[in-house]
């Protein structure tokens, strides 16, 4: 039996990951874990209901005392609401913080954006450890960045620092006010899957596209998309002057071509090119970030 543990929940665009972890050691140790898709009946309410049921089963099966809960979520936490979370319809309509506090009673609980949580995990245990100025880039279903300055994750005035999905690729293209997220709509995992399906005439995942890189039409699509993303990363580095850039997210399965293109762009454009490295936790950084949130609020 475990004497005490924390619960981490990562609400992502396509899946919800949950884990109970023992935080006594230098890096949290997984005691139990589960994951479920966001797709399903009941919309956002259904996602939350299924997730909380899974959390209850996970906690009951772990044994010992639950001492804190950390939650990483898509979007920006704005009081009792979540903003900038279009990938899960209805998510912005939930008063998620209140519902979570109600579910977990008086337990210490903290909720934050998933990419900022992932950045905190890499800063605490991963490849940003010891870095005063750094950048975490998450390339998955969506697109986001976490900024580290003075050894801390930068939230921004509205909690929206690092929302690079909304970066413009050209000066006159429709942006946030028009309901668009220009960079994410072009180079995220979801965008590449959509554009690849149009190109090939059949459903295809972003990972499958990278596996077909040598096919001329696929290579043309990926070259253009990765170049656009690399330019955005280089511009961020010019503005922020980070010591290190850490890249994570679901598309890191295609890590070699991505990192090679980023390295070329950084060396060519940035006055003081930063180190570049894959994330320690790759596609689980937000889950470990949720655990980090639980540890912070518990202490």
pLDDT, tens digit (0-9, with 9 covering 90-100), for 100-130 = 999 998 899 999 999 999 999 999 999 999 9
Name which of 55, 43, 54, 35 is nearest 88 in CA terms: 43
Q: Beta partners for 52? A: none
Question: Does 276 have pLDDT greater than 90?
Answer: yes
What is residue 155's DSSP assignment? -
pLDDT attached to residue 254: 65
Question: Does 299 have pLDDT greater than 70?
Answer: no
Predicted TM-score (pTM) of the model is 0.92
Residue 222 backbone zone (phi > 0: left; psi -120 to 50: alpha; other: beta): alpha
pLDDT band at 1 (very low <50, low <70, confident <90, very high): very low
Set out the domains of the chain in order of their start, with CATH numbers: 4-117+284-298 (3.30.420.40), 130-279 (3.30.420.40)
Mean pLDDT of 30-49: 91
Give 219-226's long-range contacts (Cβ < 8 A, gap of 24+): 221/192, 221/195, 221/196, 222/192, 222/257, 225/186, 225/187, 225/191, 225/192, 225/195, 226/187, 226/257, 226/258, 226/261
Mean pLDDT of the chain: 92
List of residues 6+ apart from 68 with CB closer than 8 A = 6, 7, 107, 108, 109, 294, 295, 297, 298
Could you report the per-residue pLDDT of 204-229, keeping only the tens digit for each? 998 899 889 889 999 999 999 999 99
By CB atoms closer than 10 A (0-12, 13-18, 19+), residue 61 is: exposed
Give the span between the Cα atoms of 102 and 91, in whole angstroms.
17
| Residues 14, 38 contacting (CB under 8 angstroms) | yes
């Amino acid at each position: 039996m475990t004497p005490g543990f924390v619960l981490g929940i990562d609400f992502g665009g396509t899946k919800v990951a949950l884990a109970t972890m023992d935080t006594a050691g230098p890096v949290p140790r997984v005691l139990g874990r589960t994951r479920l898709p966001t797709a399903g009946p009941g919309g956002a309410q259904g996602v939350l209901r299924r997730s909380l049921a899974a959390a209850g089963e996970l906690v009951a099966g772990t044994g010992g005392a639950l001492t804190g809960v950390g939650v990483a979520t898509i979007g920006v936490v704005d009081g009792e609401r979540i903003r900038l979370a279009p990938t899960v319809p209805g998510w912005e309509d939930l008063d998620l913080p209140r519902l979570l506090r109600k579910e977990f009673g008086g337990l210490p609980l903290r909720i934050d954006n998933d990419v900022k949580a992932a950045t905190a995990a890499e800063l605490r245990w991963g490849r940003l450890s010891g870095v005063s100025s750094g950048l975490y880039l998450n390339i998955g279903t969506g697109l986001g960045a976490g900024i580290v300055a003075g050894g801390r994750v930068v939230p921004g005035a509205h909690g929206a620092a690092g929302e690079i999905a909304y970066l413009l690729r050209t000066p006159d293209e429709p942006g946030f006010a028009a309901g668009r997220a220009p960079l994410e709509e072009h180079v995220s995992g979801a965008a590449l899957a959509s554009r690849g399906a149009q190109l090939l005439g059949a459903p295809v995942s972003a990972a499958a596209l990278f596996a077909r890189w040598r096919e001329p039409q696929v290579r043309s699509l990926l070259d253009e998309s990765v170049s656009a993303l690399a330019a955005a990363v280089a511009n961020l580095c010019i503005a922020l002057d980070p010591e290190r850039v850490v890249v994570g997210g679901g598309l890191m399965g295609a890590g070699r071509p991505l990192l090679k293109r980023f390295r070329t762009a950084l060396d060519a454009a940035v006055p003081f090119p930063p180190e570049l490295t894959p994330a320690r936790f790759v596609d689980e950084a937000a889950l470990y970030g949720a655990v980090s949130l639980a540890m912070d609020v518990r202490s």
